[in-house]
Amino acid sequence: MKKYTLKRTDPEHAPSYLIPYEKELNENQLSAVTFGSGPSLVIAGAGSGKTRTLVYRVARLIESGVSPASILLLTFTRKAARQMLDRAAALVGTQTEKVAGGTFHSFSSSILREYASAVGFSASFTILDRADGEDIINLIRGRLGLTDRERRFPKKETIGEIFSKAVNRAVPVAGVIEQEYPHFAHETEKLLEILAAYTEYKQAHMLMDYDDLLVHLVRLLEKNEGIREALKKRYRYILVDEYQDTNGLQARIVELLGGGAGNVMAVGDDSQSIYSFRGAHFKNIMDFPTLFPGASVIKLEENYRSTQSILNLANVIIDRAREKYTKILWTKKGTGTLPALVPLPDEPSQSRFVAQRILDLREEGVPLSDICVLFRAGFNSFDLEIELKKRNIPFVKHGGFKFMETAHVKDIVAHIKVLVNPRDAVGLKRVLMLVENVGPRTEEEITGSVLSAPRITEGLAPFAGDRRFGEGIGRLSRVLASLEGRDLNPAETVERLLEYYTPIAKRRYDDHPKRLEDLEHLAIIARKYRSVESFLTDMALEPPSDSISDITREDPDPERLILSTIHSAKGLEWHSVFIIWAAEGYLPTTYAAESADDLEEELRLMYVAATRAKENLTITFPIKIITHRGPAFGRPSRFIEDIGEDVLETWSVEEE
């Protein structure tokens, strides 16, 4: 092994620079970009050039002689990291490829695979998505005999939620139940029993859910000083984007890696904290200077995105927050047109209005791809989607429905999971239950046999010839044998499994042609990966966001309207933005009605939505709403009610 020493260069005293930083950045941005060593917090208002600042900082560090591999850029999605590094590459070249970047979860996953044995795992552990975890919880609940209907016991979804909240907020499960689920307080004992069994189950089968990735990384760093020190040396510059949406565990990871003399820069905006359901709290960002004593605070308040009219409305909205850390957005851009509030008779007319306005905007020269429709929840756009199809307006939708969660995709992926991690009992169960004449009982029997055998096919062997299952188990055994224990090529693996799966899909699904077509696309996606392990990790941590056919389409129409949940629109911007369903019960959602904190978060959601617009902002809501209980009168969202006409102009629309 070759040894060599890295030369450290102090960025403050670095040599001459090729990039004209002073020209490209304002004063505060420049001080963030050229910030020397130690901890720093950048409070960046919406549209204040936060991404630009991070991009230039990465470039500056590299230009100063910092080794790209010693920079860690933690972002909210991996796509965000990729885009920032691409932009940095345009400044300093391809060395940015060596920068470590990604989400906390993807970073944790790679470190944990590197040091798996130190946390009692094998490097090929499987990552469970939400539904997988719930399946295990259900299984355990059944085993503990907690299925009888007489006692009102929480659903598996609720149980999973309780556990996850406890982990992400670093509070005991009993506390979460007491606080938020008092009606289940009498079941606390049983829930703790399930939690213990769930934890044990995951360990025994080499499984980690999303939360475990963070928990195990924290544990690894806390308990192994050697590893912690090695990683601290490896990542000398840590940049954390969207810090307002990190939770206690993530903050702990940053603290462990960058505490002391570390160079940590956290960037975020407390007004845009919208992920409390994931354990994030906007106060985390305010606590940063406490966690990192001596941290310098840099504020970015000049907005480069929106017209002053849009910022005026945004400022009025956020001014209604009970708790806020005042930040008034301003811009040198002109006044622009007033944001509009448009009440419409009902949902179909809301859809027609939005579609019509979009066509008008396109006539005026705004490309479809620079227009976005935002909403609180995925289903809010269903009616609009029908209208858009009717009018042949092409669109993509972000957020809401995930095709990784569709049964057929999960079926194929389960087979691969089993090949990679033969102890993955969740995957195995899914695989076996697909075989004809195998039900819960038989599945358990076969799983027992497989888990105690050295190889899957050996475990299956006793059942392969069993006439009870016809050819089923035999076919499964053969396809697994042809793939087992080999260095698998992801695309080839998917294709071979697809061959095996086709008759199963035909038997189980009436709409199999569509589903099989989806799976062909999955094979195409798989081609991009060198190993099945990285394919699986990506499918779990960064599942493709569009529908499969959108991603792999030969000629993806770049001229497409964007539909998005507000959550998925974080950090993005468009020329014209529509916020639909701005009605009481929708934004804010009824679920938030109970808690003042939750209502505040809904308010911030409205703020995030409004600040996505550069030139045009149109807010709509239907007056007559059909709920499952019958028709009701929609009231405008309290967040945009009683705002002066000089800030938010009400339109009345007449339909011909």
Interface with DNA: number of residues (CB under 7 A): 45
Out of 443, 466, 484, 492, the only residue in the binding site for DNA (CB under 7 A) is 443
Q: Does 591 bind DNA (CB under 7 A)?
A: yes
Q: Kindly report the number of other CB atoms within 10 A of residue 289's CB atom.
A: 16
61, 237 in Cβ contact below 8 A? yes
- CB-count exposure of residue 311 (10 Å: 0-12, 13-18, 19+): buried
Out of 277, 304, 325, 529, the only residue in the binding site for DNA (CB under 7 A) is 277
Please name the residues in contact with 207: beta carbons below 8 A apart, sequence gap of 6 or more.
125, 126, 127, 128, 132, 136, 201, 421, 424, 426
- Specify the amino acid at residue 71: I
CB of 432 to DNA, least distance (A): 9
Q: Does 374 bind DNA (CB under 7 A)?
A: no
Q: Kindly report the number of other CB atoms within 10 A of residue 122's CB atom.
A: 11
N-to-C CA span, the chain:
78
**Helix (H) / strand (E) containing 226:** helix 225-234
Closer to DNA by Cβ: residue 159 or 310: 159
Q: Does 568 bind DNA (CB under 7 A)?
A: yes
Token digits for 155? 């659903």
Instruction: Give DSSP secondary structure letters for 84-142.
Output: HHHHHHHHH-GGGGGSEEE-HHHHHHHHHHHTGGGGT--TTPEEE-HHHHHHHHHHHHH
**495 to each of 91, 350, 481, 490, 526, how far by Cα in Å?**
40, 44, 15, 9, 10
Q: Does 400 bind DNA (CB under 7 A)?
A: yes
Closer to DNA by Cβ: residue 357 or 567: 567
Closer to DNA by Cβ: residue 486 or 507: 507
CB of 319 to DNA, least distance (A): 22
Site for DNA in 156-185 (CB under 7 A): 156
Write the interaction track for DNA spanning residues 525-564; mark x where CB under 7 A is met and - where it is not.
----------------xxx---------------------
Separation CA 492–CA 33 (nearest Å):
45
CB of 332 to DNA, least distance (A): 33
Out of 19, 316, 366, 377, the only residue in the binding site for DNA (CB under 7 A) is 377
Out of 169, 202, 327, 376, the only residue in the binding site for DNA (CB under 7 A) is 376
Q: Kindly report the number of other CB atoms within 10 A of residue 64's CB atom.
A: 17
CB of 120 to DNA, least distance (A): 22
Write the interaction track for DNA spanning residues 598-637; mark x where CB under 7 A is met and - where it is not.
------------------------------x---------
Out of 11, 39, 336, 378, the only residue in the binding site for DNA (CB under 7 A) is 378
CB of 513 to DNA, least distance (A): 16
**79 to each of 74, 383, 544, 548, how far by Cα in Å?**
11, 29, 10, 17
Nearest to 488 by CA among 421, 423, 540, 539: 421
Token digits for 26? 């304002």
Closer to DNA by Cβ: residue 77 or 576: 77
Out of 64, 138, 337, 447, the only residue in the binding site for DNA (CB under 7 A) is 138
Out of 303, 442, 457, 637, the only residue in the binding site for DNA (CB under 7 A) is 442
Which residues of this chain interact with DNA, rule CB under 7 A?
Answer: 76-77, 103-106, 129-131, 138, 147, 149, 155-156, 210, 274-275, 277-278, 376-379, 398-400, 433, 436-443, 541-543, 565, 567-568, 589, 591-592, 628
